[in-house]
Amino acid sequence: MLTNRQNLILKSIIEEYIKIASPVGSKRIQEVLTMEVSSATIRNESALLEEQGFLEKAHTSSGRVPSTKGYRYYVDNLMESNDIDDIKDQINEIFKKRGATIDEILEQTSLILSEMTKLATVVATSDTNGEVLLSKVELVPISNKSAIVIFVLSNGTIQNKTINLESVSLEELRLAIDLFNERLINSKLSEIETKSQAIIPVLKQQVKKYEFVLQTLVEALIHTDSNKSRTSGVKYLLENPEFNDPNKIKDIIQFIENASPFAWFNYQSKTNKATVAIGLETGNENDDIAVIGTNFPTKGGGKGALALVGPKRIEYDKVSKLLEWISNKIEEKFLLEGE
């Protein structure tokens, strides 16, 4: 557990780094802190935060940058609400347009979000899966760091999901897939989430990170070809200094193209609260990426998801509140009003 002073220092470093995308030194921390602290104390506390994995030392500077652990701690414990009235006002005008469809509203909203946040926006909608059944699950190792899980469906569709083996061992993954084949074959996709709960006691005995494995496999099944996904704002995303490297540009574009918010997050909850995945939590081998997403119901029993993708230096507080607000607006307009 961090002390109050350490919390303030870590919060100041993260929020400053989010603004300037440069390592933050003790002098700058002293300027932005809301309490009187000497430079020596700041350096000592920063060193302790680095030892505990919340900060990383920049190679080309005396300053420090947040680690994935630091960002996660910030999101879970330190983040405060940010003023987003200007963006809300612009998006509100879109929702006021009479006769606008949900697709038109989401398209225009996505463009504004990307332009204002410098992040890529991904929108996905999913129809109900009807009578489609799970026919078979296969595992194909592709390197010592990753493997592909292949889902074969009764309508001939084949769904792939790449799994990062830093999160789960190949043997544990194989045990989980054997269990899927034994217990869930010939189940309707619409029933997979419910039926999968019955295998938790067995899975828990064999797989250390059983919750992560179960969520990953179930969400991959939910993300079928009945889903529609579109991306906006990649050009704004690439304005971030983290993606000046051509290899990183290629990696994040492939990441966006090969997945969707349904694969990134577990959207079993009916609440519109934003969910955050940071670094390797996204399932991508590039630790520089972060995703924030929320879900919303659509007509006919389907569901939708809206996510923003960018560097770990995302304004988590602002973006989380924005996505939750947009999700509520969609639900009010298209479900509660019956439009």
Q: What is the pLDDT of residues 56-74, one digit of tens each?
A: 987 656 789 999 999 999 9
Cα–Cα distance for residue pair 292/285, rounded to 1 Å: 17
Question: If you average pLDDT over every residue of the chain, what do you get?
Answer: 85
Please tell me the number of Cα atoms within 13 Å of 192 on its side-chain side: 30
pLDDT on residue 72: 93
Nearest-angstrom CA–CA distance, 27 and 41: 11
| 127 band by pLDDT with thresholds 50, 70 and 90 | low
Asked whether residue 302 carries a pLDDT value surpassing 90, the answer given is: no
In terms of phi and psi (left: phi > 0; alpha: psi -120 to 50; beta: otherwise), the region of 283 is left
Helices 85-96 and 102-117, axial angle in degrees (round to 10): 160
Q: Place 155 in a pLDDT band, splitting at 50, 70 and 90.
A: low
Both tokens of 144, joined, read 């010592």
Per-residue pLDDT tens over the stretch 165-191: 888 889 999 999 999 999 999 988 878
Alpha-carbon separation of residue 310 from 118, 156, 189, 315 (angstroms): 8, 34, 31, 10
Domains annotated on the chain, with CATH: 4-78 (1.10.10.10), 85-128+226-336 (3.30.450.40), 134-222 (3.30.390.10)
Whether residue 150 is predicted with pLDDT greater than 70 in this model: the reply is yes
What SS3 state is found at 31? helix
* β-sheet bridge partners, residue 158: 152
Using the predicted structure, report yes or no on whether residue 76 has a pLDDT greater than 60: yes
Stretch among 47-51, 199-203, 241-245, 285-289 having the lowest mean pLDDT = 285-289
- Between 87-96, 148-157, 298-307, the lowest mean confidence (pLDDT) is in 298-307
Please tell me the predicted confidence (pLDDT) of residue 114. 93
Question: For position 244, what pLDDT does the model report?
Answer: 84
The pTM for the full model equals 0.68
H or E segment to which residue 212 belongs? helix 210-222
